[in-house]
Amino acid sequence: MRIARVLVVAVLGFCFLGIIPVNGFRLDRPQQRLGYAHRTRPCSSAPCRQSAEVALAAARAETTFVNRRATDAQSLPARNVAGYSCHDAGDVGHCYAITAATGASYGFLAADVSTVALNAQDQAFIDDEMWLIDAKCCWIEAGFMSNHTIATKNPLYFWAQGVGNHVVVSYFGGLDATQYGRPAHIQLDGNNGTFHALIVPPGSNAAFSSGDVTIRMSPNAVNLGQELSGTNGSHAPRALFTRIRVGALAPGRPPDSKFKITIASPPTGGWLVVPGQSREPVFYTECC
């Protein structure tokens, strides 16, 4: 979860995956108050249901090309890094491999993200995610993460919201290891103070949903990529962000040259297919 930057992932409906108990961990700022929730909320409002329909339609449009690229990525080895400094004693200073855009009004961010076997160590976490951000105050984010303080075999789908120094993290279910390499559809959207995070796992006809989330913000930035905390031992196979869409409203548009890259190394990432070409842009992350 990121304090300075946030990606919003729309997380729909209900899925067959269960909710897994969680232990606490701290985030970027020592003074933060961190809350937990273990739930998926139904899309009871018309805007949320509409967002869910957009996300499910996008997930159904998954292509053989996307599957092939995601599967191929599994065979690409990550670099071995003996140690890194991605937090200090106060858990400040997480490391990121992200691409980001600012300077516009955003109300929609979505992508297919290939699911991978993230493995966090050192009482830390590593994730692949997206953020929808108001730089003045707050954000919403979603994705999947491995958290070494949580006794689970597989990474977890999650969404989180942050306002000021208060962050609430909600975990959904664990990733299905038999689906590694296939993309989960992640979507964040909203306006006028109501936002949604939706995740459609690979091969699912349903989705995880944040329901209506009230955040008094006007997003002016979007981020997507990987976040790492800790000092050693975590690992992330290469993940691909494909069919990226961003804009003020759904269905959005592909990213353009305004998207800039920030790499901590570790983690690392970049454009495999650069925005602005005739092909769909593809962003990747990997670590350690």
Please check whether residue 8 lies inside any domain of the structure.
Answer: no
Contact 156, 172 (CB under 8 A): yes
Q: What are 67's two structure tokens?
A: 């599957």
Q: What are 99's two structure tokens?
A: 């691409």
Report d(CA 111, CA 71) in Å as an integer: 17
* Residue pLDDT, tens place only, 51-90: 888 888 888 876 544 444 444 444 444 455 668 888 754 4
Please check whether residue 283 lies inside any domain of the structure.
Answer: yes
Please check whether residue 4 lies inside any domain of the structure.
Answer: no
Q: What global pTM score does this model have?
A: 0.81
**Higher model confidence: residue 150 or residue 139?**
139
Q: What are 207's two structure tokens?
A: 């989705």
Tell me how far apart the terminal alpha carbons of the chain are, to the nearest angstrom: 18
Contact 39, 211 (CB under 8 A): no
Q: How far is CA 278 from CA 9, 168, 274, 275, in A?
A: 26, 40, 10, 9
pLDDT, residue 155, reads 93
Please check whether residue 28 lies inside any domain of the structure.
Answer: no
Q: What residues make up the domain containing 161?
A: 33-287
Ramachandran assignment for 91, one of left (phi > 0), alpha (psi -120 to 50 degrees), beta (any other): left
Please check whether residue 82 lies inside any domain of the structure.
Answer: yes
Residues 202-214: what's their mean pLDDT? 90
Q: For the chain, what is the domain count?
A: 1
Report d(CA 188, CA 207) in Å as an integer: 13
Residue that has been written with the tokens 């944040």 in this structure? 210
Report d(CA 284, CA 288) in Å as an integer: 14
Using the predicted structure, report yes or no on whether residue 186 has a pLDDT greater than 70.
Answer: yes
**Higher model confidence: residue 71 or residue 158?**
158
Q: Which of 235, 196, 204, 174 is nearest to 59 (CA)?
A: 204
Report d(CA 174, CA 152) in Å as an integer: 8
pLDDT, residue 53, reads 87
Q: Around Cβ 265, how many Cβ atoms within 10 Å?
A: 12
Please check whether residue 9 lies inside any domain of the structure.
Answer: no
Please check whether residue 16 lies inside any domain of the structure.
Answer: no
* Residue pLDDT, tens place only, 118-130: 999 888 899 999 9
Please check whether residue 163 lies inside any domain of the structure.
Answer: yes
Contact 201, 157 (CB under 8 A): yes
Contact 134, 5 (CB under 8 A): no
Bridge pairing between strands 138-147 and 236-247: unpaired
Bridge pairing between strands 236-247 and 282-287: antiparallel
